[in-house]
Amino acid sequence: MVDKEQFETIGDGVLVRAPAKINLSLLVAGHRADGFHELETIMAKVNWYDEILIEPGVKADIELVCQGPHWAPTGKENLVYRAAKLLLECCGLISDIKITLTKNIPAGSGLGSASSDAAATLMGLNQYLELQLPNRQLAKLAPKLGSDVAFFLGGPLAFCTGKGEKIKKLEKKSNFLAFLILPDVSVSTQKVYANYKHNQSLYEKLSTQINSYIQKNRIDLVVKMCANMLEISCYSLVESLAELKAKIESLGIGPCCLSGSGSAMFCFIESGDEEIAGQYKRKLEEKVGCKSIIVSSNRW
């Protein structure tokens, strides 16, 4: 899959690309007083994108059009609409804009596409309307839209804590090649968290190890751990995903990791060889019959 630029001018409009993310690690530190879970996660953007085109509209309102191979809500509950509305209201603006969301990344897959779409909308409108708002100002709006939105406003790799909204950029680049396994299953994040049983000793063990690797700038070693504390909860809710993981690993491709709360999984290609990645992809589709795509770390 080819790397693309984040922004592109098309006619009178601005096209913004919204990348998917994978969780290189995901630890649950425990329950919070507000009912959410305290997280520690390393998130990395990959070069697979939704696209958001912002252009002049025909009425003094936000017109949202959704297209592409995957479903997205077309009403005011869509995070793209909510992000646009929030930014305009905060700036005291009424603008006639049309936003077209091309949904390439499936929802309910643990790839963060809705949050990425929201962040891309904030950045795209900032550029389209020539608001010149600094990124820190956009970041103040992010928690009102979702816990992962702040991550997508920044660089390609970060250590995220809290509900995921506290971002520490990781300067050490982690260039990788992987293929994403895309089961035809949508998993409810809310149900996965509700089903989660906390293991404090496991958290402490994994957190100590991962933080040690971060301090040594050895993100590659974090990747090899394949640590996601939501896996048990997800796989107990959707047994077919547990079976799929076992089938994939039986092919000798390597450890198969869950991204976020699922359903997408990923396998890293340690050699970084695209030809080998292609062979694995064909093997997976022939033996297991599951859709997959080859991705690499995103530049921005």
Is-catalytic flag, 21?
Answer: yes
Spatial neighbors of 178 by CB under 8 A, at least 6 apart, are 22, 46, 266, 267, 268, 269, 277, 294, 295, 296
Residue 60, domain CATH: 3.30.230.10
* 108-126 burial code (b ≥16 CB/10 A, e <16): bbbbbbbbbbbbbbbbbbb
Structure tokens at 226: 């394949």
How many angstroms separate the CA atoms of 270 and 176, rounded? 8
Q: Which residue has the tokens 């779409």?
A: 117
- Select from 149, 169, 189 the last residue of a domain: 169
CATH number of the domain enclosing 181: 3.30.70.890
In total, how many domains does the chain have? Answer: 2
Domain that holds residue 115: 7-169
Tokens of 20: 């998917």
Instruction: Choose the catalytic residue: 45, 50, 117, 148.
Output: 148
Q: Tens of pLDDT along the chain (300 residues)? A: 788 999 999 999 999 999 999 999 999 999 999 989 999 999 999 999 999 999 999 887 899 999 999 999 999 999 999 999 999 999 999 889 999 999 999 998 999 999 999 999 999 999 999 999 999 999 999 999 999 999 999 989 999 999 999 999 998 777 899 999 999 999 999 999 999 999 999 999 999 999 999 999 999 999 999 999 999 999 999 999 999 999 999 998 889 999 999 999 999 998 899 999 999 999 998 999 999 999 999 999
Q: Is residue 114 part of a domain?
A: yes
- Based on the fold, state whether residues 202 and 143 are members of the same structural domain: no
192 occurs within a structural domain: yes
